[in-house]
């Protein structure tokens, strides 16, 4: 497990299978609010359960609100399983489940990263989750 003050990375094979990792981090309330709005949009849209957020398709599995706003949500944004939950102190935590792509995967061949993996997390492992976080932050700017 890798742990930084506000980011935790752990192997998630027990629930999701080999090659999956869970990234947990604290997020500002604006991002949680954005996800909550997309969840509500999915409930009321003609494509029940599907919404868009930060330029990505969001498949809404389930969510719950209380008098203070979003309590929790389970979604898939693009290829990333996402979960957001409100802590007792009112702060929010975002959980991302990402797959470590096996060596030679066609999605990374054009980058040439398959040569760099060698059984470790690939150098570009952070591209997809980091890109999603950047998109979510940008979507909160008005």
Tens of pLDDT, residue by residue over 27-65, are: 889 999 999 999 998 888 766 688 888 888 899 999 999
φ/ψ of residue 54, rounded to 5 = 50, 35
Cα angle 54, 78, 18; round to 5: 140
Tens-digit pLDDT profile for residues 83-128: 999 999 999 999 988 876 554 444 444 444 444 444 454 444 555 6
Beta partners for residue 2, in sequence order? 9
What gap in Å lies between CA 124 and CA 18, rounded to an integer?
18
Tell me what pLDDT residue 35 has: 93
Residue 75 pLDDT greater than 70, yes or no: yes
User: Which of 13-17, 66-70, 78-82 tops mean pLDDT?
Assistant: 66-70
Output the CA angle 82-43-129, nearest 5 degrees: 20
* pLDDT for 2 beyond 50: no
Burial of 68 per CB tally in 10 Å (0-12, 13-18, 19+): exposed
Q: Give 72's pLDDT tier (boundaries 50, 70, 90).
A: very high
For residue 142, pLDDT over 90 is answered with: no
What pLDDT does 13 receive?
56
Give me the long-range contacts of 101-108 (CB less than 8 A, separation at least 24).
101/19, 102/19
Q: What is the pLDDT of residue 104?
A: 43
């Amino acid at each position: 497990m890798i742990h930084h003050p506000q980011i935790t990375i752990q192997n998630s094979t027990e629930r999701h299978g080999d090659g999956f990792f869970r990234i947990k981090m604290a997020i500002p309330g604006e991002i949680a609010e954005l996800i909550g709005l997309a969840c509500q949009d999915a409930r009321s849209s003609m494509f029940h359960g599907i919404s868009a957020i930060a330029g990505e398709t969001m498949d809404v599995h389930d969510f719950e609100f209380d008098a203070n706003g979003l309590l929790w949500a389970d979604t898939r944004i693009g290829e990333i399983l996402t979960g957001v939950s409100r802590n007792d102190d009112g702060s929010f935590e975002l959980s991302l489940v990402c797959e470590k792509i096996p060596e030679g995967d066609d999605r990374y061949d054009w980058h040439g990263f398959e040569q760099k993996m060698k059984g470790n997390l690939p150098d570009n492992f952070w591209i997809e989750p980091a890109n999603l976080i950047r998109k979510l932050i940008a979507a909160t700017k008005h």
